[in-house]
Chain A
């Protein structure tokens, strides 16, 4: 449960961070409006990534959580790399879709 939630936040965060980079914004064909807001995207990206770590650290088994989070963040980054490689345009919607999945996952797995 917690692993899935923090993985989703890490994925949203890293996807936003990638979109804030000019090269990947071009790959994803990100609209000019969003390209101009790259610093804002970057801030949100770091916030989501930080929050995914916080989700793990706020629990009693935070030791295992911290170790898992490092692996999870790597896995999330690998997903972003694969999306950019295969279907770069999907990256545009990724942060929003992933964040929408958080409450759904929370409800389903409760």
Chain B
């Protein structure tokens, strides 16, 4: 260990940042994209253009699911809203071997059918990856939580390390090598520091029942069902009755729920035990109305239409949790704050990336296998991620619409690109590999609007224009990064010659 408080904090900041740095960058970048989850989903399903009343859309979806998945244990639907055009349905079906298989499908808001819509996870992929890391439950979530906790440690030790936090508040000295990287790291970290602290803390909090289960164990023992019932009293559940029964007038129930929410939009709608006498319809209020989601939910007997329970959160502790959860999700956000969330997320991603670069820049002269590995691995693991994200979007436009397993194919493209970039970075000299990866990333983002225009036509709505705008801006930023890197590549060998 190092002596002195600031030195130990610097040590903690550097090594703590390194352990999960690559993972945190991926979480931050995909989390940033998730700010526009609904918009990305809309963009990735260009076939859905009609907008309808959410109640009609859900009723249409249920009509389809009654035929497509009558034996399902439950249908989980996200009703369309101002931002999302399609109904997103998740449900289980028996696969060829009789095992349960979960499916996610976007259903047309008018017809309720998925056929005419390309099969894609849409923005849901980035959102899920951001905290499940494509690993089996619960390992992805535990790893993401651990990374989030370390992020908090790294942020706080970073503040302690930063000697001139106010004096250097506005300081950015370009073209000075390591000094400039440090300035960029500091400015990006400090200017959006409240956001960085908030998003890390609330992110860890969203998975708290998984990582700190002991409060529940102490009070409820092994009876976690009762604990979760107390946590979420609006959630009404009952076992299958075992007698088939047709669904009642769901449209009337959905309309009644909307009236109970004071006319606010409906959000998530679930039907548990469909086509059984024990069927339950749960209707949740749309979560975009306030910072703290109030958990407004109404439960109906889906056969008779009788109201079983109605709940809105009033308890202070749970309301506080909902407030912090809502802050992380940013679902409340009107478009201006959504853009601020997006910019702050970009700043966080860039802070982590510059931090990883600083780790390697500071140790270039030391040499050694470990340092060389970090330098090379960082190229593909961080630099390859924006490329993989562009690859995911390109796959959405290029893969044949009728391809079976298309949803998974897009995800495979993402991981294939990321993996290949990482391999490429390990094999090349970092200074060269960086330029090549950044140039390729710039091309991929700049090509996106063009490829999209050729394959599905020009954008004619705000989502299409916004998407193209962001793609061009990101592409432009990557292009702008190339000349300084080329200059550095040319000067480094000269310095070496002079020395010898």
Residues of A within 8 A of B (CB): 3, 14, 18, 21, 23-24, 63-64, 67-68, 70-72, 74-75, 77-78, 80-81, 84-85
User: In the complex, which of the residues B170, B290, B336, B344 contacts A84, with contact meaning CB atoms closer than 8 Å?
Assistant: B170
- Contacts A74-B195, A81-B170: A68 and B291 contacting too (C-beta < 8 A)? no
- CB pair B195–A71 under 8 Å, yes or no, is yes
- CB pair B167–A21 under 8 Å, yes or no, is yes
Q: Which residue of B lies closest to A70 (CB)?
A: B194
Is B252 in the interface zone, CB < 8 Å from A?
no
User: Whole-angstrom distance between the alpha carbons of A18 and B169 in the complex?
Assistant: 9
**B169: chain A residues within 8 A (beta carbon):** 18, 77
CB within 8 Å of A: which of B329-370? 332-334, 336-337, 340-341, 343-344, 347
User: Whole-angstrom distance between the alpha carbons of A67 and B334 in the complex?
Assistant: 11
- CB pair A71–B343 under 8 Å, yes or no, is yes
CB within 8 Å of A: which of B141-190? 167, 169-172, 174, 187
For the side of the interface on B, what is the size category? 20 to 34
- CB pair B192–A74 under 8 Å, yes or no, is yes
- CB pair B170–A64 under 8 Å, yes or no, is no
- CB pair B340–A75 under 8 Å, yes or no, is yes
**B401: chain A residues within 8 A (beta carbon):** none
User: Whole-angstrom distance between the alpha carbons of A100 and B291 in the complex?
Assistant: 33
- CB pair B170–A21 under 8 Å, yes or no, is yes
User: Whole-angstrom distance between the alpha carbons of A67 and B337 in the complex?
Assistant: 8
**A3: chain B residues within 8 A (beta carbon):** 336
User: Whole-angstrom distance between the alpha carbons of A3 and B77 in the complex?
Assistant: 34
- CB pair B191–A78 under 8 Å, yes or no, is yes
- CB pair A18–B170 under 8 Å, yes or no, is yes
* CB of A81, distance to nearest CB on chain B (Å): 5
Q: Which of B169, B332, B341, B347 has most A Cβ within 10 Å?
A: B169
Residues 363-398 of chain B: 1 if any A CB is under 8 Å from the residue's CB, otherwise 0? 000000000000000000000000000000000000
User: Whole-angstrom distance between the alpha carbons of A85 and B171 in the complex?
Assistant: 8
**A21: chain B residues within 8 A (beta carbon):** 167, 170
Q: Which of B170, B171, B336 has most A Cβ within 10 Å?
A: B170
Q: Which residue of A lies closest to B292 (CB)?
A: A63
Q: A67-B291, A70-B194 are in contact. List 18 more A-B contacts (CB 8 A).
A: A3-B336, A21-B167, A24-B170, A64-B332, A64-B333, A64-B337, A68-B337, A71-B192, A71-B195, A74-B194, A74-B347, A75-B340, A77-B170, A77-B191, A78-B187, A81-B170, A81-B187, A85-B174
